[in-house]
């Protein structure tokens, strides 16, 4: 995969269908090698800077373990752990880190920041999440789907329920468009993606045969789906004052047993990028129950803990798919 060496991973829009499929295949091979005990380290001597403006569990763990398994070293820079954006511009930080590290991961707010790191550092840069895109998560998701469905990716139909314009929805839709998949976005019209973004998706879909549809009726959105996917109703960085309106608006799109049954598919699986508000075992969950009288938000605990839930397989695959990106672009 030498043609991917030196490439940054900023958005799935930057990759061809063939390249995405190659990376997914590599992820599956690396997963098998790790489990089988025959993994070969291809990144010995490499160093990777991990910049986190937003806290993380899966992205940080995924990058650190993937790098360790492959013999690379990482430096973690958490919120407040560097001068980036505060005392030093992203452009200047990029030119410093690019002279010390072989690659940079960035998890933060602005897509323009991760793009600037890639432009000025001279090394591969990986988008660990921005307000606009979460490509490393989608690689893991599309690696997970074939593990639980006998269909080829292009024949899979899935639905996203919730906010139609958040970074996960947009990234999943871009990936689905690239791979020729059928995706329904079940969301209130007021939270549908920007029309210009939908136009970009449809231009890609016209070439791949994908179907990307918007649907305000949650039961129509999930009909015939192989997978139901959801995310938190309020993204990191959004004001908590929005909770009341967002809960009222999105409660009909909560993934529960009734909505799972509405797919008409007894083999339907549930997916979530995590963390999820499915019970009151967290401080946020307790606060939401106290203030709004609900014990779960985007997904009920019944579905979250059911046999249909493959969320922890997704979480594990974050590490395997990230490893594939590192190996393909650095080895």
Identified catalytic residue from 7, 58, 107, 278: 107
Identified catalytic residue from 7, 60, 182, 318: 318
Sign for the CA dihedral angle at 279, 281, 283, 286 comes to positive
Q: How far is Cα 274 from Cα 48, in angstroms, rounded to an integer?
A: 25
Rounded to 5°, angle at Cα 105 from 140 and 284: 65
Identified catalytic residue from 231, 254, 272, 314: 231
List, in sequence order, the alpha helices (H) in 125-262: 135-144, 167-179, 195-208, 218-222, 243-250, 257-261
Q: How far is Cα 168 from Cα 296, in angstroms, rounded to an integer?
A: 20
Helix axis angle, 90-97 relative to 111-121, nearest 10°? 40
CA proximity to 104, closest of 86, 87, 89, 124: 124
The total number of residues shown for the chain amounts to 331
Q: How far is Cα 103 from Cα 26, in angstroms, rounded to an integer?
A: 19
Residue 149 appears among annotated catalytic residues: no
Kindly provide the b/e burial profile for residues 11-23, where b requires at least 16 CB atoms within 10 angstroms of the residue's own CB.
Answer: bbbebebebbbbb
Identified catalytic residue from 134, 272, 278, 320: 134
Residue 5 appears among annotated catalytic residues: no
Q: How far is Cα 170 from Cα 175, in angstroms, rounded to an integer?
A: 9
How far is CA 283 from its chain centroid?
24
Residue 102 appears among annotated catalytic residues: no
Identified catalytic residue from 137, 166, 272, 320: 137
Q: What is the 3-state secondary structure (H, E, C) of 205-237?
A: HHHHCCEEEEECCHHHHHCCCCEEEECCCCCCC
Identified catalytic residue from 149, 226, 254, 273: 273
Q: Please, which residues bridge with residue 196 across strands? A: none
Q: Which residues are catalytic?
A: 107, 134, 137, 231, 273, 318
């Amino acid at each position: 995969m030498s043609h991917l060496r030196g490439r940054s991973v900023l958005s799935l829009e930057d990759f061809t269908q063939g390249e995405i499929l190659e990376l997914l295949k590599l992820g599956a091979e690396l997963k098998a090698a790790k489990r089988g005990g025959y993994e070969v380290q291809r990144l010995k001597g490499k160093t990777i800077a991990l910049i986190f403006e937003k806290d993380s569990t899966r992205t940080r763990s995924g990058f650190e373990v993937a790098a360790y398994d492959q013999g690379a070293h990482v430096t973690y820079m958490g919120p407040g752990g560097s001068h980036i954006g505060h005392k030093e511009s992203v452009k200047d930080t990029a030119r410093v880190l690019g002279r010390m590290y072989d690659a940079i991961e960035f998890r933060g707010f602005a897509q323009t920041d991760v793009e600037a790191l890639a432009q000025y550092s001279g090394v591969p840069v990986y988008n660990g999440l921005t307000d606009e895109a979460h490509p490393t998560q989608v690689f893991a998701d599309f690696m997970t789907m074939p593990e639980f469905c006998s269909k080829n990716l292009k024949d899979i139909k899935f639905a996203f329920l919730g906010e139609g314009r958040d970074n996960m929805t947009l990234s999943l839709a871009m990936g689905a468009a690239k791979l020729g998949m059928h995706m329904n976005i079940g969301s209130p019209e007021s939270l549908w993606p920007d029309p210009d973004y939908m136009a970009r998706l449809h231009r890609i879909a016209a070439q791949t045969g994908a179907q990307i549809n918007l649907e305000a009726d949650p039961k129509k959105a999930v009909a015939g789906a192989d997978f139901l996917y959801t995310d938190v109703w309020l993204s990191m960085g959004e004001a908590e004052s929005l909770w009341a309106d967002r809960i009222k608006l999105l409660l009909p799109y909560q993934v529960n047993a009734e909505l799972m049954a509405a797919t008409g598919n007894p083999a339907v699986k549930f997916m979530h990028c995590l963390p999820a508000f499915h019970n009151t075992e967290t401080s946020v969950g307790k606060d939401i129950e106290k203030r709004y009288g609900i014990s779960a938000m985007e997904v009920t605990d019944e579905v979250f803990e059911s046999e249909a839930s493959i969320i922890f397989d997704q979480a594990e695959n974050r590490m395997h798919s990230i490893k594939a990106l590192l190996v393909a672009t650095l080895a």
